[in-house]
Amino acid sequence: MADVAGTPGGNLGGANVSDLLAPLASGEGVVFLILALGVVAMSVVCMTRRNPVSAVMSLVATFFGLAGLYATLSAHFLAVLQVLVYAGAIMVLFIFVVMIVNREESTLVSLRGIPTRLLGVFAGVYMIRVFAGIAIPAQAPGPLPALSDSFGTVASVGDMLFRQDLFPFEAISLLLLVAIVGGVVVSRSARKESDAVIAADKRIAISHLSSHDSPAELSEVEETSAAAGGHH
Amino acid sequence: MNASETLFNLRLIPLLPFLGAAVLILFGRRWKREAVLTVAAAAIGGSALVAFDAFFTRLPAVAEEGGLRDVVWTWMSTGNLSVDLAFRMDALSGLLCLIITFIGFLIHLYSAGYMEHDPDYPRFFAYLNLFCGSMLVLVLGDSMPVMFVGWEGVGLCSYLLIGFWYHETPNADAGKKAFITNRIGDFGFLIGIFLTFQATGTLRFSEITSFATAGSVLTAPAWLGMSNAFWIGTFLFIGAAGKSAQIPLYVWLPDAMAGPTPVSALIHAATMVTAGVYMVARMHAVYVLSPAALAIVALVGAATALFAAVIGFAQNDFKKVLAYSTVSQLGFMFAGVGTANFASGVFHLYTHAFFKAGLFLCAGSIMHAMSGSGDIRKMGGLRKLTPWTHGVFLVCWLAICGVPVFSGFFSKDAIVAGAFATGIFGDDLSWVGPTVGVLLLLAALGTAFYMSRLYFLVFSGPTRADAQTQHHIHESPPSMVGPLVVLAVGAGLGGLVGVPGGLFGHPEWNLLGHTLETAVGPELDVPHNTELLFMAVSTVLALIGIGLAYTFYGGGYRAPAQKFAAAFPGFVQLVRDKFRVDELYGAVIIRPLRKFALALFRVVDRVLIDQILVGGVAALVDVLGRVSRAFQAGDAQRYMAAFAIGAAALVFFATRPTVPSTLKVEVSGTTVSVDASRAGRASPRGLTYAFDFDDDGRPEVVGLKSDARYTYDQAGEHTIRVTVTDPRWHTQSKIKRKIDLSAAGERK
Amino acid sequence: MPTFYYLILSFVLFLIGTTGVLLRRNALVVLMGIELQLNAGNLAMLTYSRALGDEKGHVFAFLIIALAAAEAAVGLAILVGLFRNRQTINLDEANLMKR
């Protein structure tokens, strides 16, 4: 070993770069390359748009690209799920919220506390660099294990979910339930409800007033309505 | 359990007054005066009953074996030191218990009348009860630490009661003066305790007594050629001098008269101030081992007796005269115990408790009658106006003067005769006994003079009070007169328990001496002729003193008194100013201390503490706050960034190859062998080590081994750099060390 | 096709998501960044599942998708509540935690 002080930036762990890049020339490699570049490009676009609608749209594109990548990994069921849940459900949710709060930002990035935040980004870069050190193999890797025909199908994943991993499955369904209830509670307007209560009290007081015309009882009625208001 | 461990519920004796104090402090404010008095008197009365029961029915059977003992619990146990919270009653502590509970009870009753109009009635009785409890702990304590608890407790109560009317500054100041002066004494007492433990290894009185024999370590020279026993005795006496108001620490007692008169009677005459005498008697076994220490005790006591008596000549405040009289009488007691005549010292303590309590209560009664004024220049002729008080005062006056048959005669005589007859001082210090005796005789003459002066000026002749005060003069209520009469009986006849029966061929007549023998050793054997001689001499001296006082003051200020004052105006003024000892202390001790304290305040407090410590800490907190506020920005994104940074730091430290903080290098000649493995641990996970010995950037030795050898061409300074790489993570650590080959080689 | 390509892609996606989360002002975009991060995680899961021939990773990915759905629901609800109360979804104006 001539150079033990090698770093990931230079000679990747001692492996030959051309060896590592060779698989990209195959048919599979081209598909991966197209999908990967698409995903990266779309996600960068998503994170840099001022207009939220275009951000959401590029995110949808990212998810489609990811679904394709999942398929190349023989994860067919998850690829379908990715399209259904992310592109179908979650993104629709985002679109709705964009409709409610449709505001274009004047500035992309707030400068408040920017040194800390930038340092956080660099910390992320550092971690990726270290992890890449183990992800990238020292020499060209061998072939992947052969898979059964049912790998990644609905039947096989479902079998696993409902037999071995039933408890996490049920737990996550409970989490979804809690999230639904939480979403309703948080987004419900508290003021509207109290307005409704006050309005109902007023209606009751007015009906009382209309049935008693004598002014002597007026103050008493007001007290009653005040008490009713305080009660709610 | 051996015989000396005879159990009895001694703890009840101090516990009852403590309970009374607690109840009164908690609830007394809302109660009627009668209820407060009932609780307070019942607490001390119940304590008295238990004490009398223990002393008269239980103690005689076991007095020879060390008395009654009651262990409450083990207070502290550490190393060689084991202290029980335990009480012991032998003849000595039992006698003190009786005095404290009995006179304490009488004074509680008296206070009911005296404090009738005081708004702080419950507080007063709570303090009184607290005092009685503490005093009983002091007396009954089985070991020095327990005694010290009581010692501090009575000091606290004394402070609280002197400053009872704290709304007026002089009273509060007097309390502080008493407390601080006592602290000086307590310092000596504590040193004495430490020395005792160092020398004997125990703090229990009974064990100290049996340890203290002539051949023990106590008699061995310790410091400056003096024995352990001398230093223990001297330091303990400093404590005793503080508590019992001896030269040079007596200055607090006259000022302590600022407190209510029943307090003066109970604390500053009958009980607390005698604690020092009690302590010396308690430690008698150690004192007899050191004649030098005893000589100090005796000489200081005798000097105090005479000095305070002289000051008493010229005081014009009723209670001040009595206060100096107390200092003087305490000097008598110390002279008694200081001549190894312990029984007589305790005997005088006992008689003094009665007649001095009686005198103080008379003072209270008269001040009550005189609308609160204690100036004897404005009194006179009270014999007819307050007949009961006059009768009691008469008895107590004769007792303190040492007129035969009255109690003071027997006890004072026992001390004086003992001072001349004692053989404890040996040949070197043989002058001490007679010197003490002569001083005491002079002091007895002085006592007779100033007490008679007080008596004549207050009771005889026409009254010198102004018309308005005269109009109010009245005898005190029965609740005050009753205790007075009981005390008068004690002062008159109390001495009969200590009759020197040997003179009449009946040694068993001396009940007190006989009883105390088990606790403080046999009474000093005085030859009959000596005893009779000094009885005659002291009687004559007492009569001379009374006669002299009559010629000066009988029926008011007579011509001789005025002539004397005109002839020696400077001396009279000096005595009236108490020899200006307070001023001396002020100039020598207090003023320099104040200046020192002020300097400390300016440098240490203002600058060091306020500015550097307090201000510095504040500034530091301010800076830290400013810094950490940046993190607590309430900005979720910054929190996330901090989280990422933390995670990255964890990754950094977890993936770096571990290296030692310094490189291990062994040198032999020009060959070095380097070990870069972490101390005691095998190198983990196939790390790669690159050794660069000649600092040229190219490693000479590379491999998986963590150690390497290299031989240099020439000696001199070299730098070794080692780079450790983890091939899995592609992370590196570097370490370097400089070596000087020639020096290391020579050292080898 | 060697799996480390997928892993590198996953890292890059995660970094893009992280950068968005840390730097963007718009809470909506920050939520999208979180979705990106979760998807990067999913990609790594499925990659390792493929490399090891074990379907356990699919189960994890499934659960993560469900989790992401729940997170999006609650996050968007909070966002709507924030907008209703303060008429903004800028994160630098949502700093009541400071007080």
pLDDT tens by residue, B329-345: 999 999 999 888 888 88
Is B472 found in the same domain as B333? yes
Q: Print the domain residue range for B85.
A: 1-142
Q: Is there a domain that residue B282 lies in?
A: no
Q: Cα B391 from chain centroid? A: 37
Residue type, B366: I
For C22, name the nearest residue in chain A, comparing CA atoms only.
A117
Tokens at residue A226, please? 């005040």
Output the CA angle A154-A156-A161, nearest 5 degrees.
90
Ordered DSSP codes for A156-214: HHHHHHHHTTHHHHHHHHHHHHHHHHHHHHHHS-HHHHHHHHHHHHHHHHHHHHHH---
Q: Taking a C-beta distance cutoff of 8 angstroms, is the pair A94, C72 a contact?
A: yes
State the pLDDT confidence band at A214, using cuts at 50, 70 and 90: low
Average pLDDT of chain A is 80
Q: Quick check: B633 and C95 CB within 8 A?
A: yes
Tell which of B142, B161, B184 closes a domain: B142
State the pLDDT confidence band at B383, using cuts at 50, 70 and 90: confident
Coil, strand or helix at B88: strand
- Interface list for B 623-662 with C (CB within 8 A): 632-637, 640-641, 644
Tokens at residue B204, please? 């229990």
Going by C-alpha positions, the residue among B118, B120, B122, B132 that lies closest to residue B44 is B132
User: H helices of B406-472, where?
Assistant: 407-421, 432-459, 467-472
Q: Is there a domain that residue B260 lies in?
A: no
- Identify from B635, B730, B734 which residue to disrupt to test chain A contact, counting A C-beta atoms within 10 A and taking the largest count: B730
Q: Quick check: B731 and A133 CB within 8 A?
A: yes
The answer to whether A4 faces chain B, any CB pair under 8 Å, is yes
Q: What is the mean pLDDT of residues B381-402?
A: 87
Going by C-alpha positions, the residue among B344, B322, B326 that lies closest to residue B335 is B344
Is B517 found in the same domain as B378? yes
Q: What is the mean pLDDT of residues B50-56?
A: 87
Tokens at residue B376, please? 């004897």
The pLDDT, as a whole number, for residue C40 is: 95
Model confidence at A225: pLDDT above 60: no
Ordered by where they begin, the domains of chain C are 4-88 (1.10.287.3510)
Higher pLDDT among residues B736 and C21, named by residue: C21
Q: Quick check: C94 and B640 CB within 8 A?
A: no
C97 min Cα distance to partner chain A (Å): 15
Higher pLDDT among residues A71 and B635, named by residue: A71
Q: Is there a domain that residue B121 lies in?
A: yes
Q: Is there a domain that residue B470 lies in?
A: yes
State the pLDDT confidence band at C91, using cuts at 50, 70 and 90: confident
For A125, name the nearest residue in chain B, comparing CA atoms only.
B648
**CA A70 to CA A78: how far, in whole Å?**
7
Q: What is the mean pLDDT of residues B639-668?
A: 85
Q: Give the length of chain C.
A: 99
Residue type, A23: P
B714 φ, ψ (degrees, to nearest 5): -140, 155
The sign one gets for the Cα dihedral B402, B408, B410, B416 is negative
Average pLDDT of chain B is 84
Q: Which residue has the tokens 């001098």?
A: B241
Q: What is the DSSP letter of B57?
A: I
The sign one gets for the Cα dihedral B11, B12, B13, B14 is positive
pLDDT tens-place string over residues B515-574: 787 777 777 777 788 888 888 888 999 899 999 888 888 777 888 878 877 888 887 788
Tell which of B484, B511, B544 closes a domain: B544
Residue type, B687: L
Ordered DSSP codes for chain C: --THHHHHHHHHHHHHHHHHHHHBSBHHHHHHHHHHHHHHHHHHHHHHHHHHT-THHHHHHHHHHHHHHHHHHHHHHHHHHHHHHHS--BGGG--GGG-
**CA B507 to CA B61: how far, in whole Å?**
21
Q: Quick check: C58 and A75 CB within 8 A?
A: yes
Tokens at residue B601, please? 């305040």
State the pLDDT confidence band at A4, using cuts at 50, 70 and 90: very low
Decide the pairing of beta strands B221-223 and B226-227: antiparallel
How many other C-beta atoms are found inside a 10 Å radius of the C-beta of residue A154? 12
Q: How many structural domains are present in chain B?
A: 3
**CA B492 to CA B191: how far, in whole Å?**
40
How many other C-beta atoms are found inside a 10 Å radius of the C-beta of residue B615? 12
Tokens at residue B82, please? 């084991």
Going by C-alpha positions, the residue among C54, C96, A127 that lies closest to residue B651 is A127
Q: What is the mean pLDDT of residues B140-165?
A: 91
Tokens at residue B314, please? 């010229």
Q: Taking a C-beta distance cutoff of 8 angstroms, is the pair A157, C62 a contact?
A: yes
The sign one gets for the Cα dihedral B740, B742, B744, B745 is positive
Ordered by where they begin, the domains of chain A are 1-141 (1.20.120.1200)
Residue type, B141: G
Enumerate residues 6+ apart whose C-beta is below 8 A from B319: B257, B261, B264, B360, B363, B367, B374
Q: Quick check: A1 and B688 CB within 8 A?
A: yes
Q: Half-sphere exposure of B37 toward its Cβ, with a 13 Å CA cutoff?
A: 15
For residue B717, the domain's CATH number is 2.60.40.10
Q: Is there a domain that residue B571 lies in?
A: no
Q: Which residues in chain B are closer than 8 Å to A127, comparing Cβ atoms?
A: 644, 647-648, 651
Higher pLDDT among residues B135 and B725, named by residue: B135
State the pLDDT confidence band at A221, using cuts at 50, 70 and 90: very low
**CA C20 to CA A109: how far, in whole Å?**
9
How many interface pairs between A and C have CB atoms less than 8 angstroms apart?
Answer: 233
Output the 3-class SS for A189-200: CHHHHHHHHHHH
State the pLDDT confidence band at B620, using cuts at 50, 70 and 90: very high
Radius of gyration of chain A (CA): 30
The pLDDT, as a whole number, for residue B365 is: 87
Q: Is there a domain that residue B226 lies in?
A: no
Model confidence at B6: pLDDT above 60: no
Q: Quick check: B725 and A127 CB within 8 A?
A: no
**Interface pTM, i.e. ipTM:** 0.91
Q: Which residues in chain B are closer than 8 Å to C22, comparing Cβ atoms?
A: 637, 640-641, 644
Which range of A126-135, B142-151, B457-466, B738-747 scores highest in mean pLDDT? It is: B142-151
Q: Which residue has the tokens 């074996």?
A: B65
Tokens at residue B511, please? 């009940």
Model confidence at C99: pLDDT above 80: no
B118 min Cα distance to partner chain C (Å): 56
Nearest by CB to residue B634, choosing from C23, C30, C96, is C96
- Identify from C7, C10, C19 which residue to disrupt to test chain A contact, counting A C-beta atoms within 10 A and taking the largest count: C19
Q: What is the mean pLDDT of residues A6-23?
A: 59
Peptide bond into B248 cis (omega under 30): yes
Q: Taking a C-beta distance cutoff of 8 angstroms, is the pair C45, A81 a contact?
A: no
The pLDDT, as a whole number, for residue A2 is: 36
CA dihedral angle for residue A195, residue A200, residue A203, residue A204, rounded to 10 degrees: -140
**CA C75 to CA C88: how far, in whole Å?**
15
Tell which of B88, B116, B142 closes a domain: B142
Q: Is there a domain that residue B590 lies in?
A: no
Q: Cα B672 from chain centroid? A: 71
Q: Taking a C-beta distance cutoff of 8 angstroms, is the pair B481, B387 a contact?
A: no
Tokens at residue B625, please? 């706050």
**CA C29 to CA A110: how far, in whole Å?**
13
Q: Taking a C-beta distance cutoff of 8 angstroms, is the pair B101, B136 a contact?
A: yes
**CA B185 to CA B247: how far, in whole Å?**
11
Q: Taking a C-beta distance cutoff of 8 angstroms, is the pair B11, B72 a contact?
A: yes
Q: Exposed (0-12), middle (13-18) or buried (19+): which is B215, by Cβ within 10 Å?
A: exposed
Is B497 found in the same domain as B352? yes
The pLDDT, as a whole number, for residue A189 is: 65
Bridge partners for B724 per DSSP:
B689, B733
Enumerate residues 6+ apart whose C-beta is below 8 A from B267: B131, B154, B157, B158, B161, B256, B259, B273
Q: Exposed (0-12), middle (13-18) or buried (19+): which is A102, by Cβ within 10 Å?
A: exposed
State the pLDDT confidence band at A123, using cuts at 50, 70 and 90: very high
Nearest by CB to residue C62, choosing from A23, A161, A164, is A161
